[in-house]
Structure 1
Amino acid sequence: MARTRALLTERDRELLAEEDGGNRRYQAISEIRSRITEEMETDIEILRENHPQLLKELREIVCEDKSG
């Protein structure tokens, strides 16, 4: 089965991993930021209205403390 992306594309992941990715890296960061601030907000609202359990699962993953 083909993998789908969550927030980052495979190329986003590659660019973020590069220490000196230049302009392409900064462009990817800008696009990711837009997805977080614009698209994610819409998706969360849709989940809240239509499938609260999926929203709960998303929150558990995103808000999980992995520091310890």
Structure 2
Amino acid sequence: MVRALLTETERANIAGENGDQRKYESISRVRSRIDGQLREDVEHLAEHHEDLLEELQEVVCKVDGGQDD
């Protein structure tokens, strides 16, 4: 299955299924993606396709467990 941000292994590692060291390694890799490529992609969408950026923000910024109002 294709993931947008986390691989299946990283999901398991972050959940603590494979020990603390793997957890911290996965967290570090994901942080690098957020600070690098994801940031660049967001900047690109802001410049070239604001509608897609808004869709991304709607998904990412939901803090109520994904429930619509």
**Equivalent in the alignment of 1:9:** 7
**1:4-30 CA distances to partner (integer Å, 9 max, x unpaired)?**
211111111010112661322111110
Please point out which of 21, 41, 44 is paired with 1:43. Answer: 41
Query: Structure 2 matches for 1:1-68, cutoff 5 A?
Result: 3-18=1-16, 21-66=19-64
Q: CA RMSD in A?
A: 1.8
Tell which has more relative contact order, 1 or 2 (C-alpha 8 A, sep 6+).
1
Code of the residue aligned with 1:17 in structure 2: it is A
SS state at 1:27 partner? helix
Q: Percent identity?
A: 45
In the comparison of the two structures, how many residue pairs are matched? 66
Q: Note the C-alpha offset of 1:33.
A: 0.8
Runs of 4+ displaced beyond 2 Å: none
TM-score by length of 1: 0.81
